[in-house]
């Protein structure tokens, strides 16, 4: 018997007969899943990562016959070098890994400490694209005797291209299992008070360290194509609600907090207003001081550190802006961990006494 089979046997039949092999105590697994990361900045690991990411039908919804010639003929031959150079600017050289992997690991380790009083909970973490994979870490949890697993896609706002694809990959792996654990998934938490409060506290703390007062603060979310929104994806609505609740929590006048969207890819029209265009326009209108945060990113990564703190800051200064600051993501900060723990404990009710 494998570990999960033994666990189910013990739960089903009660005390084991004499001579029965030892079995592990039934446990609950919590799997934190972030978007993904390449294993290195060179061409090959970048190409491997981009191939997995951009082959996902949830990410690029074009017909395969139209998309694959572009992906394999152009994108995977040109983009790895460009993306690798961008990753190299933010790479955690001490650990030889991306910041996203560093922060996600830390979140998993800190959550494990916070849940330590509950001996039956095992915490692990994985990436949707790249390593460690969902399949690898799910198997590791099951090997520990986890017959119940909570899958936590680390995306406050739901989108089919993020939350749904994490769940897809997990259940795809379950197709090959004889014994399947009971499974729950963490839903969107874009309007949860603990999340809104953590964002507000992070903004207030960061702004208190600046020697200038931002005239505008931009809440920049990762974009999705307009076509996804028209098909019914609730992501845009979730982002707008997060911003509205955050503005209310901060007590700011209307207009100081602006919602924008970044990281567009390809020829399609994406959610607007675009972050880079907005920053440029503000500077040209005479706004001298701004700050930007990324409420949709649980951890700092390429899109926040290189794109926003780097590129967008340069755009603002080039257009005439003077003071620019990027507000870090919640990462593994205490407020950030409060959010993760609160969501986990809420979703484990009934399993965790």
**According to CATH, where is 3.40.50.1400 located in the chain?**
3-189+335-347, 193-326
Q: Convert the pLDDT of each residue in 64-73 to its tens digit.
A: 999 999 999 9
For residue 156, the model assigns a pLDDT of 98
Q: Convert the pLDDT of each residue in 300-333 to its tens digit.
A: 999 999 999 999 999 999 999 999 999 999 999 9
Across the beta sheet with 146-153, the strand order is: 121-130, 27-37, 146-153, 182-185
How far, CA to CA in Å, does 141 sit from each of 14, 148, 174, 272? 22, 9, 13, 41
Q: What is the mean pLDDT of residues 115-123?
A: 88
Q: What pTM value is reported for the model? A: 0.92
User: Is 3-189+335-347 a CATH 3.40.50.11810 domain?
Assistant: no
The helix/strand/coil state of 344 is helix
User: Is 193-326 a CATH 2.130.10.10 domain?
Assistant: no
């Amino acid at each position: 018997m494998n570990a999960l089979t033994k666990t189910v046997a013990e739960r089903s039949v009660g005390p084991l007969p004499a001579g029965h092999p030892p079995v592990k105590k039934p446990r609950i697994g919590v799997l934190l899943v972030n978007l993904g990361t390449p294993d290195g900045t060179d061409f090959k690991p970048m190409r491997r990562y981009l191939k997995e990411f951009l082959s996902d039908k949830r990410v690029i919804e074009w017909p395969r016959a139209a998309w694959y010639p572009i992906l394999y003929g152009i994108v995977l031959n040109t983009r790895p070098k460009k993306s690798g150079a961008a990753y190299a600017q933010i790479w955690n050289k001490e650990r030889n890994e991306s910041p996203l992997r560093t922060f996600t690991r830390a979140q998993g380790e800190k959550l494990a400490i916070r849940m330590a009083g509950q001996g039956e909970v095992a915490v692990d973490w994985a990436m949707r694209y790249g390593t460690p994979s969902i399949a690898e870490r799910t198997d590791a949890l099951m090997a520990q005797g986890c017959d119940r697993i909570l899958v936590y896609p680390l995306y406050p706002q739901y989108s089919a291209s993020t939350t749904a694809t994490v769940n897809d990959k997990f259940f795809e792996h379950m197709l090959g299992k004889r014994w399947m654990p009971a499974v729950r998934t963490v839903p969107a938490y874009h309007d949860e008070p603990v999340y809104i409060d953590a964002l507000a506290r992070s903004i207030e703390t960061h702004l208190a360290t600046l020697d200038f007062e931002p005239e505008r603060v931009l809440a920049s979310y990762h974009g999705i194509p307009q076509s996804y929104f028209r098909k019914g994806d609730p992501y845009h609505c979730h982002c707008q609600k997060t911003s509205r609740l955050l503005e209310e929590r901060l007590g700011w006048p209307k207009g100081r907090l602006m919602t924008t969207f970044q990281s567009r890819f390809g020829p399609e029209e994406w959610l607007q207003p675009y972050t880079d265009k907005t920053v440029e326009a503000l500077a040209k209108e005479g706004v001298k001081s701004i700050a930007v945060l990324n409420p949709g990113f649980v951890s700092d990564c390429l899109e926040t550190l290189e794109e926003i703190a780097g590129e967008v800051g340069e755009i603002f200064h080039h257009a005439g802006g003077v003071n620019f600051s990027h507000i870090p993501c919640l990462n593994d900060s205490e407020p950030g961990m409060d959010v993760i723990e609160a969501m986990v404990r809420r979703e484990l009710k009934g399993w965790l006494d």
